[in-house]
Amino acid sequence: MQLGTGPDGVPIHGRRVAITGLGAVTCCGVGVDALWEGLLHPSVVGGPVRGFDPEQWFGPKEVRQLDRFAQFSMAAADLAVKDAGEIGADPAKSGVIFATGVGGFDTLAEQVGVYNERGARRVSPRLVPMMMANAGAAGISMRLGWHGPAEVIVTACAAGTHAIAAAGRLVASGRCDVVVSGGAEASLHPVAIAAFTNMTALSTSGHSRPFDIRRDGFVSTEGSASVVLEDWDRAVARGATIYAELAGAASTADAHHITAPSPDGAGAVACMELALADAGISPSDVGHINAHGTSTPLNDLAESRAITKVFGEPGPLVTSTKGVTGHGLGAAGAIEAVAAALTIHHSLIPPTAGYEQPDPEITLRVVHGEPLPWEPTAVLSNSFGFGGHNGCLILLPPS
C-alpha cells in the first residue's frame, strides 16, 4: 500500500500488510468454515444469522446491554483474533477499525416504541451506548485491551471495505503493528425492512440474483466479518498463517445521487483504477473480481459497465457472494473481503448463486453453477454504497 508521494512525485510505499486472521458470523452460520461451505454449496439466501448464541461470548448482563450489531462485531473479531494465533503485539500499537451502516437500529426502534407507549421515564438508560455506531469497535478494543486507534467507518454499503482499507494504512504506515477490522450490521427490524421495501430496493421474489436478467432487488441480511491485519515481517517472524496480502485500496465518491449509482460507473471506474495503482499492478494482473453485485437492476448494470471499462472484454472472472449472503449493508464489504481471502487460500472461486439467465447488457465472465478451481492471482473486491461511496480492495496471494 502507498502512503503518498514524495516531492519528486515518486510513490512512497508502506510496510506490507498481511491478513493473518479471519472471522465471520453470517446467515450461513457462525465461523469462516460455515461461510465458505455456504458459498460453495448454496442453501440459504440472506436473512438472520443462523446458530448464533450470544451467551457463548457474553454473560447474561452483557447480552442485555449490547445491541445485536455490537454482539456480532465482537464475536467476529474474537474469531479472527483466535484464528490469527498468538499475536502478542504491543497494546499501544494494536488498533480496531470497524464499520457499520446504521449501528444499533433495533435498540433505537424498540426504545422509541417504549417512549410512545409507556412514557419518557421508561426509556432505557442504556439506549445511547447500545445504539451508537462505535459500540462494536469500543467493545472489541475493551475485550482485547488494545490502546491504539479504535474507530468506526459509516459509509453505508461501502463501510466494511473502507474500514479494512483504513486499517491497512495504519499497519502500512507503522502506526500499528496489528489492527482488527471488519464490519457488522443487524437491522432486520420491520421498520427498516418497510423502508427498503417502500423505496423498491428489496427483491419482491425473495431471491438474490446478481447480474441475472431477472434480478429485482437485494435480500437483506445481518451479520459480521472480521480480518486481522498485521505487519508482514512480523507475521512471518512469528510463523503466522498468511491468507493474503492487502496490497492496495481506494475510495471515491460518485457525487451523483443519494441512492442510485452513477449510470456510467465513473466513480467505480476511478476507484478500481486507484486501487490498482495503489497496489502497483495493472488490470491484466487481476484474475478475479469479488463484485458488489447486489442484485438490483441499476447497481449491477453500472458495476458491469465500470468493470468492462477498466478491464475490457472478456475481463477477469467475476462472482458475487450476495446470491448467498444477501446484502449486509455495513457488513457486506467485510464479508466479501473474507470471501476473497478464502478464494485465494483455497484456490477455488465460489459460484454466483442465483445467476442462471444472463443479462445481454452485462458481458462479465460470471462464475456460476459450480465452484471453479483457479491458480490465484490478484483479487479485486468492490463495494459501492448509498451516498455514492465507492471502495475497493486489492488482495494478492502470499509470497
In a domain? residue 8:
no
In a domain? residue 10:
no
In a domain? residue 119:
yes
In a domain? residue 117:
yes
DSSP code for 331: G
Q: Nearest 5°: CA angle at 85, between 84 and 87?
A: 85
In a domain? residue 2:
no
Contacts of 230 (CB under 8 A, 6+ apart): 17, 18, 19, 20, 84, 87, 89, 171, 177, 178, 179, 240
CATH of residue 358's domain is 3.40.47.10
Distance from C-alpha of 245 to C-alpha of 231, rounded to nearest angstrom: 10
Total tally of structural domains belonging to the chain? 1
How confident is the model over 219-229, as pLDDT tens digits?
999 999 999 99
Domain carrying residue 177:
17-396
In a domain? residue 77:
yes
3-state secondary structure 201-259: CECCCCCCCCCECCCCCECEECEEEEEEEEEHHHHHHCCCCCCEEEEEEEEEECCCCCC
For the whole model, what pTM was predicted? Answer: 0.97
How confident is the model over 197-212, as pLDDT tens digits?
999 999 999 999 999 9
Catalytic positions: 157, 292, 327
Low-confidence residues of the chain, pLDDT below 70? Answer: none
pLDDT of amino acid 52: 97
In a domain? residue 3:
no
In a domain? residue 5:
no
Task: Show the cell assigned to 214.
Answer: 431477472
Ordered DSSP codes for 121-139? GGS-TTHHHHHSTTHHHHH
pLDDT of amino acid 264: 84
